[in-house]
Amino acid sequence: MSRTEIIAQIVGILEDVAEISPDEVTEDSVLMDDLDLSSMEILTIVADLEETFGIRIPEKELRSFVTISDLADYLSARVG
């Protein structure tokens, strides 16, 4: 899966979980700040990503996901 496709998946999940319009999301968007996600929403998004990509994301990784780009980098490395 290409990086562009991965980001499209992330954007889709963000819209689904937190009702964030795809127009508002860029690679540099900060999850807790720009996108105003709660920690529970981030956990929910991670659960959806696990299901979408068929992987398990260890909890210790969550701390490093600051921006959309961080998430995309991680997923590219795992499934790209």
Binding region for another protein (CB under 8 A) = 17, 19, 33, 36, 38-41, 43-44, 46-47, 50, 63-64, 66
- Whole-number minimum distance, CB 2 to another protein, in Å? 26
- Whole-number minimum distance, CB 40 to another protein, in Å? 4
Looking at the Cβ atoms of 2 and 77, the one nearer to another protein is: 77
Which long-range contacts does 64-68 make (Cβ < 8 Å, 24+ apart)?
A: 65/31, 66/30, 66/31, 66/32, 67/27, 67/28, 67/29, 67/30, 67/31, 68/7, 68/10, 68/25, 68/26, 68/27, 68/28, 68/29, 68/31
